Structure 1
Amino acid sequence: MADFLQALDPSKLVLVEAVLSFATSAFAAPVYNLPIFLFGTLAQESAEAIQSLQAFTFLVSASIVYDIIWLAKNEQSWFIRLLTILILILKVPTALAFAFSLRQRGAQFAGLPGGFNIRGTSLPGATVWSMPGGFTSSGAGAGGYQSVDDPEPTPTPYSAAAPVSKQPANNQAPSAPGAYHSV
């Protein structure tokens, strides 16, 4: 199977499917196929765009299910139905060829639920964001906030040397920060 997938040219597959989708777009056919394959032609041109290839592979795979539902619910002429079924059949090797291509590049489908990658293991990728409020996984606080892993700071002991004034000098009641003041 791997030899068969290596022999496939993903760019030609996507181009054929884009042309077939364009030919059926004037008739009663799935409207999502043409944009997906146009996106695929752009995604496969850039060797560095692994996320775009992952998105395209997922879209093609998911659209297989949508095509089956669309074919069951809608009526078409026999020729357009034949082209739609041909597009549906070509989606399977296209999705497999792109998944194999991503596997060769070392890419994973870490964004899927459970962190599944192409190889079938469950190893989620690196976290690219941090929690708001300075909670980090490294244990060091960020932005002056205490992280979850840091021990709680010990309070300074009360010193009796400094007198504490309970009433301000202007004889007004002390106000809490952010409290409302009467005018």
Structure 2
Amino acid sequence: MQGKKVSESFTTFTQIVMPNDTNSMNNLMGGNLLRWMDIACGICGGKHANRLVVTAAVDNVSFSRPIKIGDVVTINAQVTRVFNTSMEIFVDVYKENYRQREKVKCNEAYYTFVALDDDGRPVECCELIPETDEEKHRYERALRRRELRLILAGRMKPEDAKELKEIFLGEMK
């Protein structure tokens, strides 16, 4: 199976925050932002896999800056690594206020998606070809993030996490 470049599935999703998207403080509700992030990642993953993908996990999301009514939200999603049937996707979120003419980063997260065949079973994805230094850096670190996710989900024993052991125990040898 031939690999794809990160740029081939890079996805930008843009939305304006409307009154029905906000809470009583006129801030975008966190659940709506998570939904938009999930949609952007799903489109990105689908473009990479050339098939239906579903959300398997979402890493920690901190709401660092409020997004207000009328702000334009731009969400960028890119595949960072492929693991057989699953892929890790990095997403970052920016808000833009037209009056203040500033674009500010306000969130980021890693999502995990699984590619499915026509019967809804996990299916192998094509490899990822990172090109830029940033893409290569995220690609290299993705295995550590995956091991941590699997440990926290109870699907891997800490002693089996080779990459994490190297980080934490490597200097002790």
TMscore range, shorter length: under 0.3
Q: TM-score, normalised by structure 1?
A: 0.25
Q: 1 or 2, which has the higher strand percentage?
A: 2
| Greater C-alpha radius of gyration | 1
Q: 1 or 2, which has the higher helix percentage?
A: 1
Q: Which has the higher contact order (CA 8 A, sep 6+)?
A: 2
Q: TM-score, normalised by structure 2?
A: 0.26
